[in-house]
Amino acid sequence: MLLVNQIREDYAGVVAGLQKRNFHNAPAILDQVIALDDLRKSTQSQRDQIQAEANTISKQIGVLMKEGRAEEAVAIRERTSQIKEQIKELEAHYAQAEEDLKALLYTIPNVPHTSVPKGKSAEDNEVVLEHGTIPVLFEGKLPHWELIKKHDIIDFDLGVKITGAGFPVYKGKGARLQRALINFFLDEALAAGYTEIQPPILVNEDSGYGTGQLPDKEGQMYFATADQLYLIPTAEVPITNLYRDVILSEEDLPIKNVGYTPCFRREAGSWGAHVRGLNRLHQFDKVEVVQITHPDRSYDTLESMSGYVQGLLQKLELPYRVLRLCGGDMGFTSALTYDMEVYSAGQERWLEVSSVSNFETYQANRLKLRFKGEDKKTQLAHTLNGSALALPRIVASILENNQTLDGIRMPKVLWPYLGFDSI
């Protein structure tokens, strides 16, 4: 969440940034934030003044008792009882103001980086670069949902039978392709200096608030009501929360973690041709990279992470493009996001396969994730994460782009993991 000092010190800049997100009621909400912060501070000041009076009276009572002036001491003690009630009341007011302030801050998205373009939707995103050649396929090419039936490698009907729509069953070479991609992505991350983490795939409410899934996305998350736990939408949530309420040393930075997990998303309100087949699922596999870094180096880190994901796509021989998301298409918690999209020749359209984001201090402020510098002062770290990579649309693109009249050629980099070169 935003820092109150940030709002106070750069009010105009925060308003301008939030307007890039089409958050047009920003001035009214920011004024409420400042008013609540003023109320909190004034309440604390009153409480401190009365506490100081109580301390003075306590000393006076001690002096009077030593001097044998017990009646005067008893008379003054009556005032201390009144003060205790006043302090109790002020502390309750302070706690309420603090809670109201936090609840309001939770409703405000992150302020976009200055490089983020204005815009309302995906149509306004900025293409940063394109790489690779879009394949020209033979007449009669098939989309992946037809290819998987033809080769019997993924079964949506069995998934519906077992669970419901959006929960496919991977079979034979389809299952081996999934496993090969996961192992390839993990090995590449380890070679790039990431430490592998295998986190829980259920998280508590505090973890959801820590990384910003709550209260913004609760409607998109599966919730185990009996235990008050959420199924994770991405490994970002448990891995970043490893560092909740932690004070790091500057020498610990950067921290680089990678984790493979299944991911669960309700995708409420999604329909149409763009969600067909593997394009949008309720359960899917993903390898996620997470970094915690010094604020001075976070944007260099973002560029490095973007380059790393692009390297994976190049090794998979997939044509891709990089987009800088506009204010209206960015995630709630992000300050700057690059989306990587691969071209899917069977569908003749671009498919998003990765988002790489810098959250600056937005998540760290919620998490109370800090580090201590050389001056021994603590400050908030910056957090970043990225998909490296999400499997469903990668699989869809591999199947579609590499189809031939004789079968589907697999990218060479996967051969050692697969044990076969084609389907």
| CA-wise closest residue to 53 among 99, 1, 90, 102 | 90
Determine what percent of the chain falls in helix, strand and coil, rounding each to the nearest 5: 50, 20, 30
79 is known to lie in a ligand binding site: no
CA distance 2 to 108: 7
Q: What are phi and psi of 4, to 5 degrees?
A: -60, -40
123 known member of a binding site: no
Q: Does 354 carry a binding-site annotation?
A: yes
| Separation CA 195–CA 263 (nearest Å) | 20
Q: Is 385 annotated as a binding residue?
A: yes
Closest CA to 308 of 340, 336, 346: 340
Q: Is 85 annotated as a binding residue?
A: no
Whole-angstrom distance, CA of residue 184 vs CA of residue 416:
10
Do the annotations mark residue 265 as ligand-binding?
Answer: yes
Does residue 353 have a known ligand-binding role?
yes
**What CA–CA distance (Å, rounded) separates 43 from 65?**
33
Measured torsion, CA atoms of residues 80, 82, 88, 93, in degrees rounded to the nearest 10: -130
Is 266 within any annotated ligand binding site?
A: yes
DSSP states of 368-404: T-EEE-TTS-EEE-EEEEEEEEEHHHHHHHHHHHTEE
Q: Extract the annotated binding site.
A: 234, 265-267, 288, 352-355, 385
Q: Extract the annotated binding site for L-serine.
A: 234, 265, 288, 385
Q: Extract the annotated binding site for ATP.
A: 265-267, 352-355
